[in-house]
Chains A and B, each alone.
Chain A
Amino acid sequence: MDLVINNISYKSRLIIGSGKYKDFKETQSALLASGAQMITVAIKRTNIGQSKNQDNLLDYIDPSLYKILPNTAGCYSAEDAIRVSLLAKELLNDNLIKLEVLTDPETLLPNEKETVIAAKKLVKLGFSIMVYTTDNISLAKELEDIGCIAIMPLASPIGTGQGIVNTKNLKKIIHNSNVPIIVDAGIGTASDATIAMELGCDGVLLNSAIAMSNDPVLMAEAMKYAVISGRQAYKAKRMSMRSIASPSSNKKDVLS
């Protein structure tokens, strides 16, 4: 079964970000290698004073092949996030937004209060909101009840690559929810993504893990397999962990 977001079906459960790459060509190559079908972009001021022939990121992402998911990066208040969402909708002609409202530039942690305010208002305005949040279990449920179409709890703070710091909370959030849970932020390497999927996440969003690795295109490919294998392992339902050893071959007929 595919991942369904905003009435569109995606075979890939990996979403990647477009930030921190060396250049647009690398972004494009990493996107291709990752197998992702959705990529996030930020909405920021255009560069005044560059030549008219300057490239734009959107020239490197084919909208017929990839869903472009605008985020509200750089927003520290609900008001800013709402303003950016309206700009994103005008730019991309779509109502899908990844909502992120942060507390401060140092931790980049979600501002829970402002996130709730923004989510309520944006849902009311008809936006389809995928919401970046903490691993606060009751907050995740509240955001779902508000009408967000996907909940995106962090694994660890943005750009830290620490992997999932609180698997217990993430498990509970997944168990409680009726909408896709997509881990977003803090994934550092392939095994982090696999663990997220084995816990039962519906998808993973990552950016730094690829862009900040030594070989982004290779890491993008690793992430593709990591997410696939984690999902398959989850569906296969793993063996129980045991404290007592149990041999793989028959105890009988051993030579003596």
Chain B
Amino acid sequence: MNIILNGEKISVLLDINLKDLLGLKNIKEKNIVIEVNKEIISKNLWSNRNLEENDEIEIVTAVGGG
């Protein structure tokens, strides 16, 4: 199925949750926040949250800034 991850359309298998997605994309679980369709999903729910078609996912972190 198609989802949008950090602004880019990607294709993923069905039956994948947020925790799986991080593993798939080689993203460290530490120091990130995940938003799905503009809703923040807390860390303890990542393995429960299955992805759906056209989900818009934002994974953010702290970067340099003034």
Contacts and interface: CB of A to CB of B under 8 A. Distances in A.
B40 to A, nearest CB: 5
B52 interface: no
Contact of A208 (B28, B30, B66): B66
B27 A41 contact: no
A41 B33 CA distance: 15
A49 B8 CA distance: 12
A37 interface: no
Interface string B28-58: 1011110100101010000000000000001
B62 interface: yes
Contacts of B40: 86-87, 90
A46 B64 contact: no
Given A45-B58, A46-B61, A48-B25, A91 B66 contact: no
B63 interface: yes
Contacts of A19: 63-66
A57 B7 contact: no
Interface string A203-232: 001111000000000000000000000000
